[in-house]
Chains A and B, each alone.
Chain A
Amino acid sequence: GNSVTQMEGPVTLSEEAFLTINCTYTATGYPSLFWYVQYPGEGLQLLLKATKADDKGSNKGFEATYRKETTSFHLEKGSVQVSDSAVYFCALSQGGSEKLVFGKGTKLTVNP
């Protein structure tokens, strides 16, 4: 079945550091890929998405590129801020289905 594997956390960085959170997936066909973010005390919010190979999703300085050859969708940001501290979830959906399959989440803490 479909699955998502993302790097274990927690991740702790200093402000302005470079961020990478790895995400790989297993799926048949061509799934849509998502990154969701959950700030403390809030619900998950869609951060970015990509629906086909080589697409790059971007939002708020975060980027992720859909790499079919490596079945990956790694999240990157060039310079993190304290306000980026949150839990990040990689997810996929397939075949037009609304069902989302999530990774375990990676907690990011950014220190000033």
Chain B
Amino acid sequence: GAVVSQHPSWVICKSGTSVKIECRSLDFQATTMFWYRQFPKQSLMLMATSNEGSKATYEQGVEKDKFLINHASLTLSTLTVTSAHPEDSSFYICSAATWQRRNENEQFFGPGTRLTVL
């Protein structure tokens, strides 16, 4: 149980285009989803936290107009990188938490999406 999937697993796009990444909780309801970005040989950096049905909360320094996050249902959150540029190339990872496990503070992670912007 507690499986999180991401789609696509990798994507290559041209500069200036937009890319959407999906994050799904397959066997549980995710009241909160998190989006991370990971640069090579660096730690995961939290980009934003989203709760189902409400606006995402972005970390300092993350452009919310560039990284659009939608959490429309308890099993799906999407991250859209708008007008992507080469510096947006990175590994994007989502995680999900359920209110039933809040006291355990456990997040369930997706396998990540490798974005390459040419």
Interface residues of A (CB under 8 A from B): 4, 32, 36, 38, 41-46, 49, 89, 93, 96, 98-105
Q: Which residues of A contact B42 (CB under 8 A)?
A: 104
- A-B contacts at CB below 8 angstroms, number: 51
Question: Is the pair B43, A43 in contact by a Cβ cutoff of 8 Å?
Answer: no
A102-B43 CB under 8 A given contacts A43-B93, A44-B95, A46-B106 = yes
- Decide yes or no: A102 and B111 within 8 Å by CB, A43-B4, A93-B105 being known contacts: no
What band does the interface of chain B fall in when counting residues whose beta carbon is under 8 Å from A?
A: 20 to 34
Q: Which of B32, B34, B112 contacts A43 (CB 8 A)?
A: B112
Kindly supply a per-residue 1/0 record for chain B positions 94-118, scoring 1 wherever the CB is within 8 Å of any chain A CB and 0 otherwise: 0101000010011111111000000
Cβ B110 vs Cβ A4 within 8 A: no
Residues of B within 8 A of A104 (CB): 41-43
Q: Which residues of chain A come closer than 8 Å to B41, judged between CB atoms? A: 104
Determine if A89 and B43 form an interchain contact, defined as CB atoms under 8 angstroms apart. Answer: yes
